[in-house]
Each structure stands twice: as structure tokens, then as C-alpha cells.
């Protein structure tokens, strides 16, 4: 099976990391050889593989001339899809296009949602419950002993195409000792400045904020766990969010990256479960969690799970996590040990519900983290399926909580479908604003000069932990390989890497063994990695919200950080006005060339309405069209998140 091992000195021949490797296991070596990488200028990458039968589009970005010659099926040999790749409406989401839904899709039949890799059929996803289009129900890719006894062969793709291997990956057991469970990183020098942030709560009768954790009247175990975690006082989103949730209100909360949103929802929920004496039981073939938490990527949901496990430590409340890329049977066995708080990515969650292992009738809390992402065109159908699951209480009979650092107004409007009409909207700071602890710099580049610039930058950052964001999975492999060849200790994460590799990459990055992580958007949201000092946008994203999340991987929890973005006027012009706004709202220097670019040509209509808040306040949907459109679109067209 092909795997990529990004070493400081890579071998001449690198095995390519993508899911096609999995598909070809045992049949094709599918080795990718990097034969050149220096002549820049044309999109001449030739990647001979059987990728991209569906959804191949004209190349957009790129520009590094390289020659990848895959050893697999060479039927098409065009390969380089660039950013323009679209699904042609086929609704197939093959492995080469999908980072998020390919793995996390609900799999209720196909359809014609072919845009940007969010097709109905999640072929090639790690768990992609596949709908056969007719009565297939939920059928995960890695069916095992828990599969329903119907006729589908889990190893075969629908339509009798290629065989796919069973997913057998089981992550290492987590350490159980307190020191590991409560390991945390220190808050930074700007933590106290959180108190100066403007907070706005809109909606009727909001409860008063708390100023200290003591005021939250938490039970003893939870108080102890908070203190072992090193939290001394709540952050603003916690000060306001905790009492709102404890008062039983639905909530849409928007607060800057790295400001403690996870604890803002976990603490009041766990408090209520503990106060009610909720206890996990392994004596049931049907587990009925009181809480479901969804997030868009595997790594993020795992992180949320670890937080939940930490805060529930020593109590009878049992959190469990389910996500793609890991053997489903393993996760279901874990669920069956007792499950009060089920954390999951949408596809796998729908899968385990569909297998009859999870019942929703006792559900009290539904939490969407990165809610604007969970409700954009990629995941919204899955969210609708989730709330339509058998036994799921109606929105009137459950508490629904949404959190993100960005909340475009059109997504807010859509989100209201999932919330009671009297939900509260909590805005901490500028809605959708960047964290002001991140120093943002932009440099103008041409696409041909990016790679050398990156190398220059990394030579000055030394062993600082740096995340480098690129537009596509292929680009991630390519840049990571290039950096390795230049002796920069690098690893990479993207949706074509196997889960084992993704977890290893994150572990290597976290530990500093590989201080540079080249990533696609899959790593843009939520990841809380200590000591990331630097984010580089090698390719700027298509929408400004994505930019805000990416740079938010640094400057967390009162620490400072730096973000450097390569701005290619040819490709990034549509972002200019949003960047100007983001920079100025975060008190950053705005380069004059950026201002010129923003005010020229396509104009400044995006400035109006940018500073959105609770959409019920009259909002500015019309004005904010450009921003909203960009924000609602998938984070990247070529690839997705998980
Ligand atoms: N009250 C607190 N005191 C000290 N540290 C805290 C507190 N609350 C949260 N943290 C820490 O701050 C960091 C960021 O928190 P978290 O990951 O919840 O941020 P977030 O707002 O969800 O960010 P993002 O928008 O990127 O998802 C974590 O390491 C968390 O443990």
C-alpha cells in the first residue's frame, strides 16, 4: 500500500499518499516519483493515475512544473486539476476530491450535488457511508461484524467498480494517567486583554454573565478538573456562554479563534449531566447519549473528545468519539461500553446511528462546533439528516448550540432552522474578525516566486512550529516533499493521507519532531496545537472566513503569533477588500498596494455589511452578498476537509 513518509531527506522515489493507494492495495504499486520540481511557470504536472475520473476540471492555480508519474492506471494522464476542478454535477465524490465529505458523508444516496467534491456518493472516503441510491440506508465503507446483514459487499464500491480495502486502523489506546489527560499549554501574556473585548448578547432575556468559575456553581468533580486543566478564570465566551447554556437557552456564539469556545459549551453541559446523576452503562445494545457534538474534521472532533474526557474525568459521564478513517467496529465497541456524550464527524455519526447502535430519543444537547462550516453547502444535508434521525427530539425539545469564530449572515439565517426562535446570539468582539494577537503580514508574490520565498521564510524561523497552508492535496505533497529535499523537517496533513498518517503527522508536528506542517484546509479550523508561532498562507484561501480560521492556529489563548500570507494579485484579487477589513479591524498595518487593489476594479461593495452581527438585528444580507457567497462556498474547490 502506498504511503508517504516525509523524511528530512526523502528517498528518490516517494510513494504517493492518497486514497487511491488504498483502493489499489494489492493490485498496483502506485508509486509516485518526483523527477523534477524546479522549472516553474506552467501547469505541466503530469500525474498518471486513475484519479479524477469524476470532477476533473481545468487547472487553476499551481505553476510548479513537475512530473509525477504514478505507477497506477494511466488511463487519463491529465491529472493536475488545480483549483478549478468541479464535479460536473455528477454527485460522485471520489477519493481524489474529498477531504471532508468523502469521509464524513452521510451516504444517503447520491444526487447531483457535484460541486466542489461534495457529492452524494462518498466513494473513496474512509468511512463514507455509501448510499446505493435506493434503500441503501447507511452503509459504511468499512463494514465489519456490525454491518447490517444485507446484501452489499463492503469491499466493493457501488456499481461493482474497484474493490476497496476494509479500514482496519485502530488508534493507539489513550494514556489514562492524569498527567497526560490534563497536559495543557500555558495561557499567554495577552490572556488578561480578553476582558477588554466588547461582548454583545442579543435576543430576549439573556441571563447575566458570570465573572468567575465559582459563580457557575459547578459540581466538585468538574471544579477540580477545571483547576487541574489550569483554568483560573473564564474567557469572555465562557463568561457569557456558560450561564446561557445553563439557563437552557439555544445559542449561536461567535468568538475569536483560540478563545475557549470548547470549554464554553462542554462545561455547562457536563455540569448539568453530573448534577442530574447521568451515568454511562454498558448494559445496553442501544446507547442513547444525552449529548451529540459534531465537528467537520476528524482531528478536531478527536480534540473535542479529549477535552470532554478531561473535564469528565473521575465522573460517571462517559464521552465517546466516532470519526472516519478508523475501523468502525472498534468505535462501536467503544460506544457500547456506555456513551453519554457522543462526539462525531457527520458521516460516521450517521453511520453508527443508522446501524442501530445509537438512539437519539434521550438527546438533550446538540452541539455544532464550527457551525458555519457544518451548515454550509457541504455539510448542511448531513445536519438535516442528523436532526431527522429516528427518535431525535424536535428543536423545541432539545437544546441546540452553535459555535464558531465566523458566522456569515446567510449561514445564520439557515442556522435559525435548527434553533428555537428565542435563541440568543453571543458576539465576542467583531463577528468573523481575526484574533488581534496574531500579527498579520502580506507580501506580494507571483505564483512562480512562492516556493523560494517559503524556503527563505522557513530558514529564518528555525525550529519554530510553522503551519504552511496550501490550496490542494497535491500541492501539499509537493511542497512538503520539496521542503524535505531542502532539509526542512516537514510533514503534511490532508484528506488523501490515511488516518494513521494524519495522526502521525500531527503527533510529529506537536512534538516538534517535524516543526513544519504543510496542510490543506483540513487543518484550518479548530486545531489547538501548542506553540504554533507561525502560519504561512502559501496559497491564500478562496474566502475570508477560511483565512480567519487558518491564521487562528497561532496566537491562541492570549499567546502571540504571526501569520504571513503570499498574495498573488492574479489569483487573490477578490480577497483584497476583505483582507483590508480584516487587517484594519485587528489593528494591523494595511499595505498600500492592498488598499489600492481593494478599491480598484471590482470595487468596494464588500466593505459594507462586513461587520455583521446577529442577523435578526436587520442585518445586511444584501450588502454582504460578496462575503457571504464566498463564505458559504466550500473552503476549497479542489479538496475538502475530511
Ligand atoms: N479559561 C481558560 N483559561 C485558560 N486557558 C483556557 C481557558 N479556556 C480555554 N483555554 C485554552 O485555550 C485554548 C483554546 O481553546 P479552544 O480550542 O476552545 O479555542 P476555540 O475558541 O474553540 O478556537 P477555534 O476557533 O480555533 O476553534 C485551549 O488550549 C484551551 O485549553
Q: Which of 27, 24, 95, 85 has the alpha carbon at shortest distance from 60?
A: 85
Architecture of domain 438-600: 3-Layer(aba) Sandwich (3.40)
What are the tens digits of pLDDT across the range 149-166? Answer: 333 332 333 344 455 667
Burial 448-460 (b: 16+ CB within 10 A, else e): ebbbebbeebbee
Given its phi and psi angles, is residue 586 left (phi above 0), alpha (psi -120 to 50 degrees) or beta? alpha
Ligand 1 atom nearest to CA at 263: 18
Using one digit for the tens of pLDDT, what is the confidence trace for 24-51? Answer: 222 223 333 333 333 333 333 332 333 3
DSSP state of 612: -
Whether the per-residue pLDDT at 400 is higher than 90: the answer is yes
Residue 19 has pLDDT above 90, yes or no: no
Average pLDDT for 277-294: 94
Q: Whose CA is nearest to atom 12 of ligand 1?
A: 557
User: What per-residue confidence (pLDDT) applies to 596?
Assistant: 93
Mean pLDDT of 290-303: 98
Topology agreement, domain 178-428 and domain 438-600: yes
Least confident of 98-102, 535-539, 575-579, 631-635: 98-102
In this predicted complex, what is the ipTM?
0.99
**What integer best gives the mean pLDDT of the chain?**
76
Q: How much of the chain, in percent, has pLDDT values that exceed 90?
A: 60
The pLDDT of residue 374 is 97
405 with 336: CB under 8 angstroms?
A: no
Query: For ligand 1, is residue 120 a contact (CB within 6 Å)?
Result: no
Q: How would residue 183 be classed by pLDDT, with cut points 50, 70 and 90?
A: confident
Angle between helices 236-246 and 261-275 (to 10 degrees): 30
Q: Ligand 1 in contact with 406 (CB < 6 A)?
A: no
Distance, CA 284 to ligand 1 centroid (Å)? 35
User: Residue 579: what pLDDT?
Assistant: 97
Q: What is the pLDDT of residue 195?
A: 87
Q: Does the structure show a pLDDT above 70 at 528?
A: yes
Distance 276 CA to ligand 1 centre (A): 26
Residue closest via CA to ligand 1's atom 30 equals: 260
The residues spanned by each domain of the chain are 178-428, 438-600
pLDDT higher than 80, residue 599: yes
pLDDT score for 618: 63
Label residue 602 by pLDDT band (50, 70, 90).
Answer: low
The answer to which of 308-322, 363-377, 541-555, 622-636 has the lowest mean pLDDT is 622-636
Confirm if 449 and 629 have CB atoms less than 8 A apart.
no
Domain 178-428: give its CATH superfamily.
P-loop containing nucleotide triphosphate hydrolases (3.40.50.300)
| Eight-class DSSP state of 154 | T
Q: Is 235 in the pocket of ligand 1 (CB under 6 A)?
A: yes
Find the mean pLDDT for residues 550-560: 95
C-alpha cell at 323: 470519526
pLDDT score recorded for residue 395: 98
Q: From the CA of 583, how far away is ligand 1's center (Å)? A: 22
Query: Which ligand 1 atom sits nearest the alpha carbon of residue 549?
Result: 26
pTM: 0.76
Q: Is residue 228 in contact with ligand 1, taking CB distance under 6 Å? A: no
| Ligand 1: residue whose CA is nearest its atom 14 | 258
Atom of ligand 1 nearest to the CA of 558: 12
Amino acid at each position: 500500500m502506498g504511503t508517504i513518509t516525509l523524511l528530512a531527506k526523502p528517498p528518490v522515489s516517494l510513494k504517493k499518499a492518497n486514497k487511491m493507494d488504498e483502493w489499489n492495495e494489492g493490485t498496483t504499486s502506485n508509486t509516485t516519483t518526483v523527477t523534477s520540481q524546479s522549472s516553474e511557470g506552467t501547469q505541466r504536472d503530469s500525474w498518471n493515475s486513475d484519479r479524477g475520473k469524476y470532477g476533473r476540471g481545468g487547472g487553476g492555480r499551481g505553476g510548479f512544473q513537475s512530473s509525477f508519474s504514478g505507477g497506477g492506471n494511466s488511463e487519463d494522464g491529465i491529472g493536475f486539476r488545480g483549483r478549478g476542478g468541479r464535479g460536473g454535477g455528477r454527485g460522485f465524490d471520489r477519493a481524489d476530491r474529498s477531504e471532508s465529505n468523502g469521509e464524513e458523508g452521510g451516504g444517503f444516496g447520491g444526487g447531483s450535488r457535484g460541486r466542489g467534491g461534495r457529492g452524494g456518493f462518498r466513494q473513496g472516503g474512509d468511512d463514507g457511508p455509501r448510499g446505493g441510491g435506493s434503500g441503501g440506508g447507511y452503509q459504511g465503507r468499512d463494514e465489519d461484524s456490525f454491518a447490517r446483514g444485507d446484501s452489499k459487499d463492503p469491499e466493493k464500491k457501488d456499481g461493482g467498480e474497484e474493490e476497496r480495502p476494509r479500514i482496519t486502523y485502530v488508534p493507539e489506546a489513550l494514556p489514562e494517567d492524569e498527567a497526560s489527560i490534563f497536559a495543557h499549554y500555558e495561557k499567554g501574556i495577552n490572556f488578561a486583554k480578553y476582558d477588554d473585548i466588547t461582548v454583545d448578547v442579543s435576543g430576549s432575556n439573556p441571563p447575566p454573565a458570570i465573572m468567575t468559575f465559582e459563580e457557575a456553581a459547578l459540581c466538585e468533580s468538574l471544579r477540580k478538573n477545571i483547576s487541574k486543566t489550569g483554568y483560573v478564570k473564564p474567557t469572555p465566551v465562557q463568561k457569557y456562554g456558560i450561564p446561557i447554556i445553563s439557563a437552557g437557552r439555544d445559542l449561536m456564539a461567535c468568538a475569536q479563534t483560540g478563545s475557549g469556545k470548547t470549554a464554553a459549551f462542554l462545561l455547562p453541559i457536563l455540569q448539568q449531566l453530573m448534577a442530574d446523576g447521568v451515568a454511562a452503562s454498558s448494559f445496553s445494545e442501544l446507547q442513547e447519549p444525552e449529548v451529540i457534538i459534531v465537528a467537520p474534521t476528524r482531528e478536531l472532533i478527536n480534540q473535542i473528545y479529549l477535552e470532554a474526557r478531561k473535564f469528565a474525568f473521575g465522573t460517571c459521564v462517559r464521552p465517546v468519539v466516532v470519526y472516519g478513517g478508523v475501523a468502525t467496529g472498534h468505535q462501536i465497541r467503544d460506544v457500547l461500553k456506555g456513551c453519554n456524550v457522543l462526539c462525531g464527524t457527520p458521516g460516521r455519526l450517521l453511520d453508527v446511528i443508522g446501524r442501530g447502535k445509537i438512539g437519539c430519543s434521550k438527546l438533550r444537547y446538540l452541539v455544532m462546533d464550527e457551525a458555519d462550516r457544518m451548515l454550509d453547502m457541504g455539510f448542511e444535508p448531513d445536519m438535516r439528516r442528523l436532526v431527522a434521525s429516528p427518535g431525535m427530539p424536535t428543536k423545541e425539545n432539545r437544546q441546540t448550540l452553535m459555535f464558531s469564530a465566523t458566522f456569515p449572515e446567510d449561514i445564520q439565517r439557515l442556522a435559525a432552522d435548527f434553533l428555537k426562535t428565542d435563541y440568543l446570539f453571543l458576539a465576542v468582539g467583531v463577528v468573523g474578525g481575526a484574533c488581534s494577537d496574531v500579527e498579520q503580514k502580506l507580501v506580494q508574490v507571483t505564483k512562480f516566486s512562492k516556493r523560494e520565498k517559503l524556503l527563505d521564510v522557513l530558514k529564518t524561523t528555525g525550529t519554530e512550529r510553522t503551519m504552511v497552508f496550501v490550496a490542494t492535496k497535491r500541492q501539499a505533497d509537493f511542497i512538503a516533499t520539496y521542503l524535505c529535499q531542502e532539509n526542512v523537517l516537514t510533514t503534511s496533513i490532508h484528506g488523501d493521507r490515511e488516518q494513521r498518517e494524519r495522526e502521525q503527522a500531527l503527533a510529529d508536528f506537536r512534538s516538534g519532531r517535524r516543526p513544519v506542517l504543510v496542510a490543506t484546509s483540513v487543518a484550518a479550523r479548530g486545531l489547538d496545537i501548542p506553540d504554533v508561532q507561525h502560519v504561512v498562507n502559501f496559497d491564500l484561501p478562496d474566502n475570508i472566513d477560511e483565512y480567519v480560521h487558518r491564521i487562528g492556529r497561532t496566537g491562541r489563548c492570549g499567546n502571540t503569533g504571526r501569520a504571513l500570507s503570499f498574495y498573488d494579485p492574479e489569483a487573490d484579487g477578490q480577497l483584497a477588500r476583505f483582507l483590508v477589513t480584516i487587517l484594519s479591524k485587528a489593528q494591523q498595518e494595511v499595505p498600500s498596494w492592498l488598499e489600492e487593489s481593494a478599491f480598484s476594479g471590482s470595487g468596494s461593495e464588500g466593505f459594507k455589511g462586513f461587520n455583521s452581527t446577529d442577523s435578526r438585528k436587520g442585518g445586511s444580507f444584501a450588502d454582504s452578498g460578496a462575503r457571504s457567497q464566498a463564505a458559504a462556498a466550500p473552503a476549497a474547490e479542489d479538496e475538502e476537509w475530511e
